[in-house]
Amino acid sequence: MPLITINGKKIKASENVTILEVARGNAIFIPTLCHNDGLTPYGGCRLCVVEVVKNGKTTVEASCTYPIEEGLTIKTNTARIRKARQVIIGLLLNRGPKPLVIQDLASEYGVTGPLTRFSVENEHCIRCGLCVQACREIVQARAICFAGMGFERKVTTPFNESSLDCIGCGTCELICPTKYIDMKDLPEAQEVTPSDHQIIGPVRNFDTWNTEFKVRVCNECGNPFYSAQPLKKFQESQNLQSGFFDVCPSCRIPPHVDEDLCLGCGGCVVNCPIGAILMKEKGEEQKPTIYRENCTGCHYCVDMCVVGAITIENRE
Amino acid sequence: MFDYDVIVVGCGPTGLMATSELKAREVNVLGIDMKTRLDKNFRSASGFFFDDQEFNGECIRLEPKGDKTRIHYEKCGFSLDYPAPMEAIHNSYMVSNSGKNYQITSRNKPLYHIFNPTTWLSARYHNAKELGASFLTRTLVIKTKEIPGGVEVIFRKDGRKGKLTCKKLIASDGLQSRITRELGFNRNRGVIGIGPTIEYEMVGVECPLPRGDLFIFGEKNLGQKTGQIFMVPSPRGKDAYRIETATTPPAIKNYQVIEYFTKESSLAWWFKKASVVEKSGAVVELFTPIKVPHRGNIILVGDTAAFGEVLYQGATMCGYMAAVAVEKELRGHKGFDEYTQWWNSTFEWNIDPKKMSEYSKRFLFTRYMGADTMDYLFDIAAKQPLIADDARANVYDFAKTVIDHLLSFPEVRPDVAKKLRFMREADIGLMVAELAKEAQALKK
């Protein structure tokens, strides 16, 4: 285990981790815009710069990509580092002063405005690449990518056209730190977008990606809850019963346990992906209870019950 | 400060053994389990021990002591009491689609001894209780988290969340361990398959064959082409058997198979006067074993880190060795590393990964050969049953032993012999590919 020093504190770090991971594990805050624990470090925003002293030499490095080595001394909040971050935040303000996350950073680091020698672009996208990475690594759809080089670099769908690979999951919208990606769920309304494109609901529309999807509407509450296309794909691949996605997760009733049939073997308790089923005593035997507040309605327990004691109740 | 020195998650045969052994060594230990009571077996399990036979790195010696049996684990170096005698079983059968059977018999030494899992668990639980161990039942551990110097255990009980802390954690929550999954250990494991099972314990069974276990297959017996039934003698009486099925999901297929077998199949007449005394179920998920079953202050023991089930023998060994390892760790020694070394040099599938295929062959063998071929082979083998005194007939070597026996008959047709030889040498990937081809041909 490499022994390192961060801000004067001696820390035993694990093998094969980065400075950022060790710092966060020890409650030392380093700001970053392009890092997500679930994704490969990319080093795009450079906000996470720190001073690294190695063999007597001090360098400024991006902590999210710098691997831990024995004997490193790291300083995360020196005057030099604060100055470097102020310049980066200034440049981000030049790119676009509107995103809240940039404004918060500016006020924290005392940056009053964009750098005067560059013009202000009013862009929301800071080209951190989180959406591209999430689409590739988490969703594995590869529906969006970087295009162009240098100042022209931007995130888009291939050839700026509606991507056939997009499944409309909305992960890009969720992960975007500046809320640049415009995702709208339109229940029934008709809407005309600035590009004169007419949308007739219920659809999920990504104006940023020139893409829209028909949305499944919950039979119970009437709210749109997911793009129909991935649901259909998922229903087929997981062999779910027909009508599984007729209701949204919040309206889904937890399955019902027939205690007379149930053997009390605990298969459902063990198999429930999120641990929503607990055992309760019933005389000499034990029977499962499904806690509604935790149940996601995935119905895996229904598939895994060996006697068919767990069933989906009819909605009357 | 920590709530406990050690928390044991999952109190089956492994967890109970670890808890009582730690308590005997005066460690402040808590056992957590999702079940409502720990002195009863709720999960399908047939209890058996190989006496005086090398199996999974241990050579157990059973010593009958009046109405008790003393079990000596010679290599691990400890002994236990089981509060009842254990019946010796000398026969093992395979029953084909048309009802023909193939017999494996032992003359000098029994194949194995049987016991009741509930009696076993009850004995271990009361032993732990006498030593003063405390348990938290009806509690489901949903997450474990490393904290400086120990582990935080997050659980759900009566619908509410709670947490406890400990210095060391023993995860013995079984094949589908939530802790193993949450910690990300399963990401690097090969997945072999998932098989829900159901088990009926029946008395009054009129089985015409001398007492032994039966492996039954074929559409006439099961009502479907794939799957199998295990009938294992139960210690409840001379006419008592545990009848167990295993199919692929959805799990309800098991119920249909066992009901068909006991009520409608060509062998249903065995069960005309029989009654079910106990029903149980389980979901068996097979992964390749974890080579380094510990991380930080957490150690994964028994089924939790294993390929398939370690059985009662392995569970007891793992529980004992884990308790020894944890006690050493608490004293500042490298107990977990010693356990890992023992783990990798004891279990057959850790020493030789090919044993995993050997184990799976027992289930795939008959399906691959086909119903008619099995009838043909059973006819030939009826002349001279397999004597198992010199051959290894445990769960890992069963298929190989049977194939070698069938190949020893010179009259076996060359095409069948070729298939048998393929089966003997094949690894699991090859076999599954062959079966998939066959299934596609059938569809066409």
For the record, the structure tokens of B356 come out as 């995993």
> Of B27, B95, B17, B56, nearest to B344 (Cα)?
B56
* Residue B281 to residue A271, Cβ atoms within 8 A: no
* Predicted local confidence at residue B437, as pLDDT: 72
3-state SS of B127-173? HHHHCCCEEECCEEEEEEEEECCEEEEEEEECCEEEEEEEEEEEECC
Chain A residues whose CB is inside 8 A of the B40 CB are 284
Least confidently predicted of A58-62, B226-230, B281-285, B438-442: B438-442
* Residue B158 to residue A278, Cβ atoms within 8 A: yes
Neighbouring C-beta atoms of residue A196, cutoff 10 Å: 6
pLDDT tens across A23-71, in order?
988 889 999 999 998 899 988 899 999 999 998 899 999 999 999 999 9
Q: Residue ranges per domain, chain A? A: 3-77, 255-312
Q: Chains A and B: how many Cβ contacts under 8 Å?
A: 92
Neighbouring C-beta atoms of residue A240, cutoff 10 Å: 17
pTM of the model: 0.73
pLDDT tens across B100-142, in order?
999 999 888 888 999 999 999 999 999 999 999 999 999 999 9
B162: amino acid identity, one letter:
G
* Predicted local confidence at residue B179, as pLDDT: 93
Distance, in Å, from the CA atom of A10 to the CA atom of B373, rounded to the nearest integer, reads 70
Is pLDDT above 90 for A80?
yes
pLDDT tens across B138-192, in order?
999 999 988 888 999 999 998 888 999 999 999 999 999 999 988 888 888 887 7
Mean pLDDT, range B255-282, rounded to an integer = 93
Spelled out in words, what is the top-level CATH class assigned to the domain A3-77?
alpha beta
For the record, the structure tokens of B150 come out as 């120990």
Length of chain A: 316
Q: Which of A258, A263, A298 to mutate to test the interface with B (most CBs of B within 10 A)?
A: A263
pLDDT tens across B221-247, in order?
999 888 889 999 999 999 999 999 988
Which residues fall within 8 angstroms of residue A82, CB to CB, at 6 or more apart? A109
Q: Which of A265, A269, A308 is closest, CB to CB, to B252?
A: A308
Numbered residues of chain A with Cβ closer than 8 Å to any chain B Cβ: 263-267, 269-271, 274-275, 277-281, 284, 286, 289, 291, 293-294, 303-308
Is pLDDT above 90 for A91?
yes
Residue of chain B whose alpha carbon sits nearest to that of A271:
B176
Decide if the complex's ipTM is over 0.90: no
Asked if B439 reaches chain A (Cβ–Cβ under 8 Å), the answer is no
> Of B290, B285, B23, nearest to B134 (Cα)?
B23
* Predicted local confidence at residue A170, as pLDDT: 86
Chain A residues whose CB is inside 8 A of the B176 CB are 270-271
Is pLDDT above 70 for B194?
yes
Burial class (CB in 10 A: 0-12, 13-18, 19+), B80: middle
Chain B residues whose CB is inside 8 A of the A265 CB are 42-44, 280-282
Distance, in Å, from the CA atom of B235 to the CA atom of B160, rounded to the nearest integer, reads 40
- Output b/e per residue, B182-192; b: 16+ Cβ within 10 A: bbebeeebeeb
Distance, in Å, from the CA atom of B196 to the CA atom of B218, rounded to the nearest integer, reads 19
Distance, in Å, from the CA atom of A122 to the CA atom of A96, rounded to the nearest integer, reads 4
Chain A residues whose CB is inside 8 A of the B258 CB are none
Q: Which of A270, A274, A291 is closest, CB to CB, to B176?
A: A270
* Residue B178 to residue A269, Cβ atoms within 8 A: no
List B residues 173-192 in contact with A (Cβ-Cβ < 8 A): 173-174, 176, 178
List B residues 357-376 in contact with A (Cβ-Cβ < 8 A): none
Distance, in Å, from the CA atom of A109 to the CA atom of A106, rounded to the nearest integer, reads 5
Mean pLDDT, range A8-24, rounded to an integer = 89
* Predicted local confidence at residue B156, as pLDDT: 93
Cβ atoms of A266 and B41 within 8 Å: the answer is: no
* Residue B42 to residue A274, Cβ atoms within 8 A: no
Chain B residues whose CB is inside 8 A of the A271 CB are 176, 283
Which residues fall within 8 angstroms of residue B151, CB to CB, at 6 or more apart? B7, B144, B145, B165, B166, B167, B168, B169, B296, B297, B298
B333: amino acid identity, one letter:
H
For the record, the structure tokens of A267 come out as 């298969």
Burial class (CB in 10 A: 0-12, 13-18, 19+), A303: buried
- Check residues B440 and B302 and name the one with the higher pLDDT: B302
* Residue A267 to residue B252, Cβ atoms within 8 A: no
Which helix (H) or strand (E) covers residue B220, if one does?
helix B219-222
Q: Output the CA torsion sign for A137, B177, B309, B19.
A: positive
Share above pLDDT 70 across residues of chain B, in percent, rounded to a whole number = 96
Residue of chain A whose alpha carbon sits nearest to that of B10:
A270
pLDDT tens across A258-314, in order?
999 999 999 999 989 888 999 999 888 999 999 887 887 777 898 889 998 998 776
- Please give the CATH architecture assigned to the domain spanning A255-312: 2-Layer Sandwich (3.30)
Chain A residues whose CB is inside 8 A of the B45 CB are none
